[in-house]
Amino acid sequence: MKKTVLSLALAAAAVTGTLSPLRAQTTCPVAPAPVEVSGSITSNTTWTADRVYLLKGFVFVESGATLTIQPGTIIKGDKASKGTLTIKQGAKIEARGTADRPIVFTSNQAPGERDRGDWGGLILAGKAPQNIPAAPGQPLPKLEGGLTPDTYFGGTDPNDNSGALQYVRIEFPGIAFTTDNEINGLTLAGVGAGTTLDHIQVSYSGDDSFEWFGGTVNAKYLVAFRGTDDEWDTDNGFAGKVQFGLSLRDPNIADVSGSNAFESDNDANGTSNSPQTAAVFSNISNFIAPASGTLSANFKRAMHIRRNSALSIYNSVVAGYPVGLLLDGAAAEGNAASGALQLRNNVFAGFADARVATVVTGSTYDAKKLLTDNGNDLTSTVADLNLATENFNLTNPFFQPKATSKLGAGAGFTGKAADAFFDKVSYRGAFAPEGATGSNTGNWAAGWTNFNPQLTCYNAPGVTTGTAKATSDQLQQLAVAPNPSNGPAELRFSLRRGGPATVQVFDLTGRPVATVLAGAPLPSGDQALRLPETLRAGVYLATVTTGETSQSVRFVVVK
């Protein structure tokens, strides 16, 4: 597919750099009738890539049943009924996609009309230990999120197996029913270490991207993209290990409850209930894209460790948040002092000295000393990381740091990170720098991820990467001129065959902000359409949709 993608060289732009084509399919066919799924799945079932599936309401895979999903399968969550898929205790999901045929869970709304919270999300409930006492008359604690009927989790089997999620995308999920009663993008409740989790992207979640409630499951290669609340939320005795994770946030979108990269509690009341939350994360990159205006006041901390959590974080990088670390409460401070909570070899970039490591009012604990004594790098500016501008791009990012970035060295795998689960790489953050050789180098997010799902067509069964070759040459030479513009600008293109066309303008959150044409007939030949002069300063996408094709071009407005 041909797209014109222009370099954004102005400081007013939130994203800059030389970019590869936007990830959106050229032709969006009429959607086939989906296979509607509702209620309970009680026997072994396979979803195939030649069909599109629609989750209607709460869908449960019951104990004893296995849901197998073929590579390349598209599953849509119904917006009206808040479709949600739950894998209950004793059930399994075998969703093993591939790098070139990922499995996609997404919204059932049309391109340009999708939003956070369009559907519920994906929930796995296992039998591994957690620390919430069961309510009177109940066998185990039940999951939050308004699930009907109640869904229980937890148990005594740390090696419980809920199946596998590999090369899976989860887009536009996350519903907050009431305060502290939400469905996240991917909810992992009491999930055991026998479960396989790797290469999972959660995008545009209406709540947390990933949340663990107890359990022992391990994971690698996770992406949290443009979520709303927290990225990595660990609670209720989660004791698993996670390596190679990326989060990138929109600077304008954060939750009213306060958004953090890491948020961790032992439990809601900070008790000593066991097992204690003691997860270990390594090689996680957490960025908020540079803001062209004011950062949302709802962003809070890169790391908020509280309520007796013993979370440990190694070899990671955080940048863009107002505060680096909040070590919240005497119990969390005690865990740090005893070594149960370890923060080692991390990079805190761009934080004011008084905000890089903080404690609650009245505490005398020296949280900054905790960082400086354990090999953490308190880099004064994000620029000192020597990253590429593409690392922060919100629609088509490239995440490997420059070869000269300080993230290319400095990792250490001592203490809890000495565990055999962790690959002993030399770099900090989620990706090796460009040009690095050896194991665990290169761009592990390439191919299977999608950073522009708002404009992706999901009507072709089995087409989930957005990299299929164009099947139409109708639309040619799409461009905006002048670009950037501080006044009148034109959208220019050529049609080899005339026909009805719709032209819309979207902001970088994917929201439509203007309709230039709505199914109006256009003749073949060169076209020049005036774009609205009322657009505010910012970065936009102009999209042309015909009966054969849909293409977009990025442009900048400065005022």
pLDDT digits (tens, 9 = 90+) for 212-236: 999 999 999 999 999 999 999 999 9
Can the peptide bond before residue 32 be classed as cis, meaning omega within 30 degrees of 0? no
Confidence of residue 469 (pLDDT cuts 50, 70, 90): very low
**Residue 354 pLDDT greater than 60, yes or no:** yes
CA-closest candidate to residue 391, choices 351, 434, 427: 434
Confidence of residue 12 (pLDDT cuts 50, 70, 90): very low
Which residues sit opposite 7 in a β-bridge? none
Lowest mean pLDDT among 7-21, 152-166, 320-334, 400-414: 7-21
**Residue 5 pLDDT greater than 80, yes or no:** no
Confidence of residue 508 (pLDDT cuts 50, 70, 90): low
Confidence of residue 540 (pLDDT cuts 50, 70, 90): confident
Which pLDDT value is given to residue 24?
35
Which pLDDT value is given to residue 20?
30
CA-closest candidate to residue 430, choices 441, 416, 419: 441
pLDDT in tens, 116-129: 999 999 999 999 99
Q: Per the structure block, which two tokens stand in for 126?
A: 């296992």
Q: Per the structure block, which two tokens stand in for 331?
A: 């119990």
Give the separation between CA 61 and CA 88, rounded to whole angstroms: 6
Which pLDDT value is given to residue 16?
31
Contact yes or no for 483/516 (Cβ under 8 A):
no
Helix (H, G, I), strand (E, B) or coil at 199: strand
pLDDT in tens, 426-447: 999 999 999 898 888 989 998 8
Contact yes or no for 524/498 (Cβ under 8 A):
yes
**Residue 482 pLDDT greater than 60, yes or no:** yes
Confidence of residue 326 (pLDDT cuts 50, 70, 90): very high
Which pLDDT value is given to residue 15?
31
> Looking at residues 77-100, what average pLDDT do you find?
97
CA-closest candidate to residue 335, choices 359, 311, 367: 311
Give the separation between CA 282 and CA 284, rounded to whole angstroms: 6
pLDDT in tens, 380-398: 789 999 888 878 888 778 8
Give the separation between CA 551 and CA 449, rounded to whole angstroms: 19
Q: How far apart are the first and last CA of the chain?
A: 32
Helix (H) or strand (E) holding 368: helix 367-372
Lowest mean pLDDT among 40-44, 236-240, 264-268, 546-550: 546-550
Biggest alpha carbon–alpha carbon distance for the chain: 74
**Residue 498 pLDDT greater than 60, yes or no:** yes
More confident: 485 or 128? 128
Provide the Cα torsion 336, 340, 345, 348; round to 10°.
-40
**Residue 207 pLDDT greater than 80, yes or no:** yes
Q: Per the structure block, which two tokens stand in for 315?
A: 């070899």
The model's pTM: 0.82
Which pLDDT value is given to residue 424?
98
Contact yes or no for 255/249 (Cβ under 8 A):
no
- Buried b / exposed e over 271-299, threshold 16 CB at 10 Å, is eebebbbbbbbbbbbbbbbbebeebbeeb
Domains plus CATH for the chain? 36-373 (2.160.20), 475-557 (2.60.40.3080)
> Looking at residues 86-99, what average pLDDT do you find?
98
**Residue 478 pLDDT greater than 90, yes or no:** no
In eight-state DSSP terms, residue 416 is G
Confidence of residue 466 (pLDDT cuts 50, 70, 90): very low
**Residue 147 pLDDT greater than 80, yes or no:** no
User: What backbone phi and psi angles, to 5 degrees, belong to 368?
Assistant: -65, -40
Give the separation between CA 491 and CA 544, rounded to whole angstroms: 9
Rg of the chain over CA atoms, in angstroms? 23
Q: Per the structure block, which two tokens stand in for 535?
A: 């657009």
User: What backbone phi and psi angles, to 5 degrees, belong to 78?
Assistant: -70, 125
> Among all chains, which residue has been given the structure tokens 């390596």?
243
> Looking at residues 289-317, what average pLDDT do you find?
94
> Looking at residues 308-316, what average pLDDT do you find?
99
Contact yes or no for 230/209 (Cβ under 8 A):
yes
Contact yes or no for 467/451 (Cβ under 8 A):
no
More confident: 250 or 31? 250
Which residues sit opposite 424 in a β-bridge? none
**Residue 273 pLDDT greater than 50, yes or no:** yes
Give the separation between CA 353 and CA 376, rounded to whole angstroms: 14
Q: Per the structure block, which two tokens stand in for 555?
A: 């442009």
Give the separation between CA 64 and CA 357, rounded to whole angstroms: 48
